Structure 1
Amino acid sequence: MELDDIDRKILRELRSDGRLSNLKLAEKVGLSATPCWNRVRALEERGVIEGYAALLNHKAIGVPDTVIIEVTLDHHDDEALDRFGRAIAVLPEVLEAYLVTGEYDYLIKVAVAGTEGYEDFLRRKLYKLPGLRHSRSTFALRCLKRVASAVP
């Protein structure tokens, strides 16, 4: 099922403020409350809206530093890729993890508390994962854009 203009308006408004009340959302997209609620519910049921979350200030919660890690594995068979992917996905420091094409196998974004926090993550967690051959890290200096999803 295609998204129409009203669905897209709903998604843009919720992307901007996921805490909007249904009444306020309905006003912003030009619907009455019941049709708006029905559309949001349908978007949720179809999986277009996967969930709602609070974006946290990493500095305020003690993990102000973002590190991007390129990871290369020893083996590239399905089992090795799946095993590593499952292992990385459960680590609390990991914000995002992608299986990618190119020179390395995974691109991982982590939140840590400085170089000490990163060293701890590397030694106690990342380096202990199965199949890791090589990693290369880049510390982010400043976040220029941070959004949870694309604009519909």
Structure 2
Amino acid sequence: MPRPSTDLGAYIAEVGEAVRRRREELGLDRAEFARREPTVSYRLLQAMERGERTRYSDIVLAKLERKLGWEPGSFRDMATGGDPRPIQDRLISVEYDERSGVETRMYRRERVDLVQRIYDDVEADLAVDDEFTPEEQSALLEKALEVARSQALMIIHTERRHRRHVRGRTW
């Protein structure tokens, strides 16, 4: 069974130009951009920017949308002459320090840093009494953040299994 794909057809030149322009706005050359997570092939990126091929797998396009900071479905819109839609309130924003080469991920929802919120709530609760030493408080805080991460992944995987199960049913 072939992978789902999108044909950018008559608009490939405009799409390629939009991708190149956005990549340059991000301050990255092709090689750097291709290597960043989620990775894509340098040759594929080059072919898209040059308009050398028109059909791309939906998985690749989804990766590129994420890397470019565009809403899902932007490439489908562009395939019919539309424009990419920038993500307005991105859950995960990435800040890159060129000098140090360090990438910092911020987890936000409606401009609230979710990890900071968990940290502040746990730290405030631990500060209520002197039951824990500073070292114990630090270990508990780290454990709370790891449990939050694990729970988030479990929720996603459970929902994914549920959806696959429901799709597999015959009505």
TM-score of Structure 1 vs Structure 2, range by shorter chain: under 0.3
Which structure is higher in RCO with an 8 Å CA cutoff and minimum separation 6? 1
Structure that is richer in strand per residue: 1
TM-score, structure 1 length as denominator? 0.22
Structure that is richer in helix per residue: 2
Query: Larger Cα Rg: Structure 1 or Structure 2?
Result: 2
